[in-house]
Amino acid sequence: MIFGTLLKQLISRPATNPFPVKYMPKSVTGVLKKVAAGQAAIHPPVPTPKDLRGKIAYDRETCIGCGLCEKVCPARVIELYKPEGEEKNKIRMYVARCTFCAQCVDACPVNALATTEEFLLASPDRFAESLVVE
């Protein structure tokens, strides 16, 4: 049984691809410079599967500020706040903490939250513009 599994693993195609480049470069910065100069290409990531739970998108206009998403979020990603001069509460999401469980999406009564296919989110700065949604 164990040998069967081993053989299957040896001949099956990997689920991942050599992203972002085929072989580990000596210098990542060097590769990025080459890419910027058009001398090298980055492998595209594998196609995302249907219904991938990627970065959560927030429709600020649709949001009624009920705070349900904040209540159900297990990772305390969501902060409810009252913007100055506005009647309704709005939310701010710190994506670096998100576990992509989509409970907030399910809880929102007005569909102001949605999963997206965006998953390349790594950044050395957890408060980077791309990682704070509001």
Sites of contact with ligand SF4 (CB under 6 A): 56, 63-69, 72-75, 77-78, 91, 93, 98-104, 107-108, 110, 112-113
Q: Which is closer to ligand SF4, CB of 31 or CB of 73?
A: 73
Contact between residue 80 and residue 123 where contact means Cβ atoms under 8 Å apart: no
The nearest distance, CB 71 to ligand SF4, in angstroms, is: 8
The nearest distance, CB 46 to ligand SF4, in angstroms, is: 22
Task: Give the strand pairing for 113-115 and 132-133.
Answer: unpaired
The nearest distance, CB 88 to ligand SF4, in angstroms, is: 8
Q: Smallest Cα–Cα separation from 102: which of 111, 113, 93, 92?
A: 113
Q: Smallest Cα–Cα separation from 51: which of 126, 102, 16?
A: 102
